[in-house]
């Protein structure tokens, strides 16, 4: 039996486009003599469709698309994801098994994830059918994503009921190291069932999520017989018994880089932009973001703008120019000193008794934000912001300043990871595309004389370790101190994270790469008196 | 039997503060000879605690606070809300019945709302106990919020099992007309149970939500025997058989006004601010927001700033001054023409071939946003934004411009409602505090010559009607057209709403007053190709 794993890149809400794409892949699978083609979870609606699902007309549209898809399924069996609705109006996250132009069976997802980034209990009713169906003479158990993650879920039941093949259609968002976890799970399930497991995962970016593909066929003994590439749309055709190609697994840094590039590319293109704009400071964050943008949509579509004031060192300004030259992007320089002075003059009547401080620092960042948005409005370029997770966590960033923009590329990447990724990027290029001087210079916002990040924050190596414990693991202050950090430092960091929730709430989305990103999986109140 | 309904204003995360406040109300109830005092749902954690609940140390803290509370409960019975945890680590939205310094019974909420603004299935396991307990000789059924809303839920079961009194502790967020719905529900439940119902609701603002109190005692025949005030912290002491005071119900406009004032006041004060700052344009939105701010925290704590350009008419500028004078607030004028020109000069090299357009319009709004934030940073004043729901819906507002600020007071109030509320406000004052000329002038953003809102948008009466159908009711375009609106206009409005999701995602929170506000109850994807 020949199986085609169609790890396609769908678009949320684009029901007709998704059906069209499924059709193309169906045809290719048929051309390659596949007996069965399998698509990811909620193929027709895209994932996650969120509150679109609450619109009755959206559900209608997806049901119409399913009906229109049926006649094309001839001489092959297809498993496709959609939203089903029963007579009472209840909705199900569903998989249709289609053969000879007709629906042979519909399975309703039983395990509805409602944690982390998932809200499926908001939308769907859990199913209760067995999900067993005959395909090409095999007794096949069909289930959907979370059904496989539950130890005694639908997958286990299907195995007990004699499934000779398990098919799981998924939309499993990427996070660092998740592929290994997923693979082990599939191997465990296959061995427990004594049956091969076919796993088809979505690929592509959707708002803050990116799906990494890497669909698999796992043998009853737990061997990965076939695997699709990570982060690439692909039709993986394999033989149920023999397997097929097994894509090479990316290294940890390659993986994060690929995730950020695809997440950024898809956000830009799926929201209809062709070009992007980045404020290039001469620092590491904007340098890495520019590199990601070039990788995602090509250097000809990226413009960098440097907007120096009196506080920007010559060395930094030169680095900004050098970076732009190395990347081959368009580069503009707009010194903002005069605009800054004009603003200060306007405020002087009211600020004269006050020393230069945060207001004047932020003002510079906000003038820059305004100019970027002026270009964005004028030419239709999307502004990419350059703040990293360490900054987003501690509020070491200016709301309506460097936080202004449509997509926050490295929002979930800690400062120490930005360094590692920049080194990786240069290594891969075989040259210092990101100038070494940028990587070596002590980080500074350059919003006042002789400012260094480390004047306000702990060293990044310690900061990032504390942030990970506090954010990803929900550790208390005491528990973090027990891990060997200084109590006062821990208190300061935790307090910074807590009191900057209001900034994060107004930040643009960015690619999730960690186990807990600031986004759907971080629902902390803004008004919050708990001192963790 | 004398019952005290303690509709208190808790603060999310402030476990010790909330316990302290409960203690004060407990003592007052005892002084007033109450046999029983009842607190709202999740008294100790505040509501909604959101992801704080995922922190094990936060749950510990709330359990410690409960234990510390016990000894104070002597000679009276108390029902108090907290998060319970069982030995396996499962969490429950719980009510403790306390008497003689000890917990007599713990009830776990069974119906966990996971729709609209609620995510309780993300956090809690549903309970399965009966919740019946003897208090002062009565067989009492204790249940929590949603348990009462389900037709065949815990409340009905308790009634069948012979409850002689039903107690429901709630955190039911305000929305327009909800009090009437709630009251009818309680009357239905009381009659069905043939028993009195005691209902205690939270009061106060929490981020985008505001809770309206109006706790009640309803007789077995469905008569409201006692009711607490709307939007006020209060201890309502009443006799189970005879009742007590019944607060006067607010009129529809009074109610919305009170909701917005309390929501704004609590956001300001609970997040630690004393003073606010508002950009006063001379238009109706900022005028009404300033009035709300004065009502919430007093005129001495409100500063208005007018920041005119060449496009602001003398009449508008005069209106801004007059409004400030009428309200008695501090008022500053910072003409931004020179800063605007300096920015235009900087951009001219790149924009010279382009006509004056959106970029230049938004630039003015963004210069204003920057100046407001400079004052905010310098003096620690919270910036209140002034955009209404019609603008938030259609994107007729500038991101990082007039959208800059910590709290969006009228974000859920349609333009037509802003007019109605302004009239109401003047009527109540017995004079035109908001100058009549502001109310009468055709609305304009004044970002270019002779601009009027109605150049870009349909008339507000039609726009608001279409928006209500699309946003609150999730109607399709066709369904809206069938209601009698012009197809082309409907298409335009729907498309504006859809494509401005990215702006709303970066907007500050504001008070929810409608059945669907832009916030927790509006989870639409940003990347979204569905054309509704």
B-chain residues near A47 (CB < 8 A): none
User: Same structural domain for residues A344 and A478?
Assistant: yes
B177 in a structural domain: yes
Contact by Cβ (8 Å): B522, B412: no
Q: Which of residues 494-513 of B touch A (CB under 8 A)?
A: 502, 505-509
- Residue A289 vs residues A53, A208, A419, A454, B98: alpha-carbon distances, Å: 34, 16, 12, 22, 57
The pair phi, psi for residue B161, each rounded to 5°, is -85, 10
- CATH number, domain of B423, equals 3.40.50.620
Q: Is the peptide bond before A22 cis (omega within 30 degrees of 0)?
A: no
User: Same structural domain for residues B216 and B262?
Assistant: no
B518 in a structural domain: no
Contact by Cβ (8 Å): A378, B382: no
Residue A420 C-beta-side C-alpha neighbours within 13 Å: 15
The CB density around residue B222, as the number of other CB atoms within 10 Å, is 16
Read off the pTM. Answer: 0.97
* Stretch (H or E) spanning A438: helix A436-440
- Give chain A's radius of gyration (CA, Å): 25
User: Same structural domain for residues B283 and B140?
Assistant: no
A390 in a structural domain: yes
User: Same structural domain for residues B237 and B274?
Assistant: no
Q: Is the peptide bond before A48 cis (omega within 30 degrees of 0)?
A: yes
State the Cα–Cα distance between residues B111 and B125, nearest whole angstrom. Answer: 10
Cβ–Cβ gap A374/B359 under 8 Å? yes
Q: Is B353 on the interface with A (CB under 8 A)?
A: no
The pair phi, psi for residue B58, each rounded to 5°, is -70, -40
In tens digits, chain A (532 residues) has pLDDT values of 999 999 999 999 999 999 999 999 999 999 999 999 999 999 999 999 999 999 999 999 999 999 999 999 999 999 999 999 999 999 999 999 999 999 999 999 999 999 999 999 999 999 999 899 999 999 999 999 999 999 999 999 999 999 999 999 999 999 999 999 999 999 999 999 999 999 999 999 999 999 999 999 999 999 999 999 999 999 999 999 999 999 999 999 999 999 999 999 999 999 999 999 999 999 999 999 999 999 999 999 999 999 999 998 899 999 999 999 999 999 999 999 999 999 999 999 999 888 999 999 999 999 999 999 999 999 999 999 999 999 999 999 999 999 999 999 999 999 999 999 999 999 999 999 999 999 999 898 889 888 888 888 899 999 999 999 999 999 999 999 999 999 999 999 999 999 999 999 999 999 999 999 999 999 999 999 998 7
- Sheet of B102-108: strand order equals B102-108, B91-99, B77-85, B36-38, B2-7, B234-239
Q: How far from each other are the two terminal CA atoms of chain B, in whole angstroms?
A: 56
Instruction: Quote the DSSP letter at residue A141.
Output: E
Torsion-angle region of B168 (φ positive above 0: left; ψ -120 to 50: alpha; else: beta): beta
A529 in a structural domain: no
Cβ–Cβ gap A12/B525 under 8 Å? yes
Q: Which of residues 31-90 of B touch A (CB under 8 A)?
A: 48-52, 54-58, 61
* Residue of B332, B378, B528 with shortest CB distance to A12: B528
* Residue of B55, B332, B532 with shortest CB distance to A474: B55
Question: Any residues with CB less than 8 A from the CB of B460 and at least 6 apart, and which?
Answer: B390, B414, B415, B416, B443, B453, B454
State the Cα–Cα distance between residues A426 and A431, nearest whole angstrom. Answer: 5
Provide the residue count of chain B.
532
* B457, pLDDT greater than 80: yes
**Known catalytic residue at A248:** no
Contact by Cβ (8 Å): B146, B109: yes
What does DSSP say about strands A216-218 and A224-227: parallel, antiparallel, or unpaired? antiparallel
Q: Tell me the pLDDT band of B148, cut-offs 50, 70 and 90.
A: very high
Q: Which of residues 218-257 of B touch A (CB under 8 A)?
A: none
- CATH number, domain of A79, equals 3.60.110.10
The nearest CA of chain A is from the CA of B474 a distance in Å of 6
User: Same structural domain for residues B87 and B170?
Assistant: yes
State the Cα–Cα distance between residues B285 and B283, nearest whole angstrom. Answer: 6
User: Same structural domain for residues B395 and B485?
Assistant: yes
User: Same structural domain for residues B280 and B421?
Assistant: yes
User: Same structural domain for residues B236 and B266?
Assistant: no
At A470, list the tokens: 């506090």
User: Same structural domain for residues B272 and B234?
Assistant: no
Cβ–Cβ gap B357/A336 under 8 Å? no
**CA angle at residue B442 from B418 to B308, to 5 degrees?**
90
Query: Of A205, A226, A246, which closes a domain?
Result: A246
State the Cα–Cα distance between residues B256 and B406, nearest whole angstrom. Answer: 21
Q: Which of A109, A270, A275, A512 is catalytic?
A: A109
B516 in a structural domain: no
The total domain count for chain B is 2
Whose structure tokens read 């904007």? A286
State the Cα–Cα distance between residues B4 and B29, nearest whole angstrom. Answer: 6
Mean pLDDT (chain B, rounded): 97
User: Same structural domain for residues B60 and B173?
Assistant: yes
> How far, rounded to the nearest angstrom, does the alpha carbon of residue A326 sit from its chain's CA centroid?
27
User: Same structural domain for residues B18 and B75?
Assistant: yes
Q: Is A431 on the interface with B (CB under 8 A)?
A: no
* Residue of B11, B342, B374 with shortest CB distance to A342: B342
Share of chain B above pLDDT 90, in %: 95
B-chain residues near A346 (CB < 8 A): 334, 336, 338-339, 371
Tens-digit pLDDT profile for residues B2-30: 999 999 999 999 999 999 999 999 999 99
Q: Is A369 on the interface with B (CB under 8 A)?
A: yes
Contact by Cβ (8 Å): A177, A197: no
Question: Any residues with CB less than 8 A from the CB of B66 and at least 6 apart, and which?
Answer: B19, B44, B80, B82, B96, B103
Whose structure tokens read 């749950």? B59
Q: Which residue of A has its CA nearest to B380?
A: A359
A415-429 and A460-467 helices cross at what angle (nearest 10)? 110
The nearest CA of chain B is from the CA of A448 a distance in Å of 16
Closest to A388 (Cα-Cα) out of A368, A406, A415, A357: A415
A-chain residues near B470 (CB < 8 A): none
Q: Domain range holding A57?
A: 2-246
At A446, list the tokens: 């350059």
Query: Of B196, B215, B241, which closes a domain?
Result: B241
- Give chain B's radius of gyration (CA, Å): 25
At A152, list the tokens: 């005694």
State the Cα–Cα distance between residues A75 and B393, nearest whole angstrom. Answer: 48
A-chain residues near B508 (CB < 8 A): 502, 505-506
Residue B327 C-beta-side C-alpha neighbours within 13 Å: 33
Cβ–Cβ gap B338/A338 under 8 Å? no
Q: Is A346 on the interface with B (CB under 8 A)?
A: yes
Cβ–Cβ gap B354/A57 under 8 Å? no
State the Cα–Cα distance between residues B409 and A404, nearest whole angstrom. Answer: 22
Tens-digit pLDDT profile for residues B425-445: 999 999 999 999 999 998 988
Letter string b/e over residues B40-50, b meaning 16 or more CB atoms within 10 A of that residue's CB: bbbbbbbbbbb
Q: So what's the pLDDT on residue B450?
A: 86
State the Cα–Cα distance between residues A489 and A480, nearest whole angstrom. Answer: 10
State the Cα–Cα distance between residues B311 and B115, nearest whole angstrom. Answer: 45
B512 in a structural domain: no
State the Cα–Cα distance between residues B419 and B398, nearest whole angstrom. Answer: 22
State the Cα–Cα distance between residues B299 and B327, nearest whole angstrom. Answer: 7
Tens-digit pLDDT profile for residues B289-326: 999 999 999 999 999 999 999 998 899 999 999 999 99
Q: Which residue of B has its CA nearest to A471?
A: B55
A532 in a structural domain: no
Top residue of A207, A506, A532 to mutate, by most chain B CBs within 10 Å, is A506
Top residue of A119, A530, A532 to mutate, by most chain B CBs within 10 Å, is A530
A221 CB-contact burial (10 Å; exposed 0-12 / middle 13-18 / buried 19+): exposed
User: Same structural domain for residues A107 and A177?
Assistant: yes
State the Cα–Cα distance between residues B508 and B392, nearest whole angstrom. Answer: 11
Q: Which residue of B has its CA nearest to A369?
A: B400
Tens-digit pLDDT profile for residues B42-88: 999 999 999 999 999 999 999 999 999 999 999 999 999 999 999 99
B527 in a structural domain: no
Q: Is B524 on the interface with A (CB under 8 A)?
A: yes
B-chain residues near A17 (CB < 8 A): 529
Q: Is A138 on the interface with B (CB under 8 A)?
A: no
Q: Which residue of B has its CA nearest to A403?
A: B400
The nearest CA of chain A is from the CA of B3 a distance in Å of 30
The nearest CA of chain B is from the CA of A525 a distance in Å of 7
The nearest CA of chain B is from the CA of A126 a distance in Å of 14
């Amino acid at each position: 039996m020949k199986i085609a794993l169609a790890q396609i890149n769908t678009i949320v809400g684009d029901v007709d486009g998704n059906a069209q794409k499924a059709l193309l892949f169906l045809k290719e699978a048929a051309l390659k003599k596949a007996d069965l083609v399998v698509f990811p979870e909620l193929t027709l609606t895209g994932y996650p469709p969120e509150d679109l699902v609450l619109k009755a007309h959206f559900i209608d549209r997806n049901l119409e698309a399913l009906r229109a898809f049926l006649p094309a399924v001839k001489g092959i069996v297809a498993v496709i994801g959609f939203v089903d609705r029963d007579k009472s109006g209840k909705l199900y996250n569903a998989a249709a098994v289609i053969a000879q132009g007709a629906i042979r069976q519909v399975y309703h997802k039983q395990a509805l994830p409602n944690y982390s980034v998932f809200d499926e209990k908001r939308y769907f009713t859990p199913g209760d059918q067995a999900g067993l169906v005959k395909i090409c003479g095999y007794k096949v158990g069909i289930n959907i994503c979370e059904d496989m993650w539950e130890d005694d879920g639908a997958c286990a039941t299907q195995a007990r009921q004699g499934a000779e093949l398990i098919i799981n259609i998924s939309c499993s968002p990427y996070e660092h190291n998740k592929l290994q976890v997923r693979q082990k799970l599939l191997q465990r399930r296959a061995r427990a069932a004594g049956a091969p497991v076919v796993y088809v995962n979505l690929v592509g970016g959707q708002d803050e999520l990116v799906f990494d593909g890497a669909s698999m066929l796992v043998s009853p003994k737990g061997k990965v017989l076939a695997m699709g590439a990570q982060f690439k749309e692909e039709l993986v055709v394999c033989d149920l018994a023999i397997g097929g190609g097994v894509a090479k697994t990316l290294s940890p840094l390659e993986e994060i880089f690929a995730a950020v590039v695809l997440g950024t590319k898809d956000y830009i293109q799926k929201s209809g932009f062709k070009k992007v704009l980045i404020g290039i400071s001469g620092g590491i964050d904007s340098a890495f973001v520019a590199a990601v943008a070039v990788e995602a949509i090509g250097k000809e579509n990226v413009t960098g703008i440097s907007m120096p004031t009196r506080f920007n060192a010559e060395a930094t300004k030169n680095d900004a120019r050098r970076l732009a030259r190395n990347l081959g992007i368009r580069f503009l320089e707009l010194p903002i000193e005069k605009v800054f002075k004009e603003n200060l003059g306007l405020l002087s009547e009211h600020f004269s008794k006050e020393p230069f401080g945060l207001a004047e620092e932020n003002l510079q960042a906000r003038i820059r934000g305004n100019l970027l948005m002026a270009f964005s409005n004028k030419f239709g370029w999307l502004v990419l912001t350059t703040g990293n997770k360490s900054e987003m966590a501690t509020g070491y960033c200016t709301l309506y300043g460097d936080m202004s923009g449509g997509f926050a590329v490295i929002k979930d990447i800690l400062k120490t990871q930005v360094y590692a990724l920049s080194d990786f990027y240069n290594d891969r290029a075989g040259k210092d595309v990101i100038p070494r001087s940028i990587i070596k210079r002590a980080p500074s916002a350059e919003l006042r004389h002789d400012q260094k990040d480390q004047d306000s924050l702990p060293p990044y190596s310690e900061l990032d370790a504390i942030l990970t414990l506090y954010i990803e693991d929900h550790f208390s202050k005491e528990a973090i101190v027990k891990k060997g950090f200084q109590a006062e430092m821990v208190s300061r960091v935790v307090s910074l994270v807590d009191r900057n929730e209001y900034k994060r709430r107004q930040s643009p989305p960015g690619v999730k790469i960690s186990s807990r990103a600031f986004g759907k999986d971080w629902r902390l109140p803004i008004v919050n008196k708990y001192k963790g």
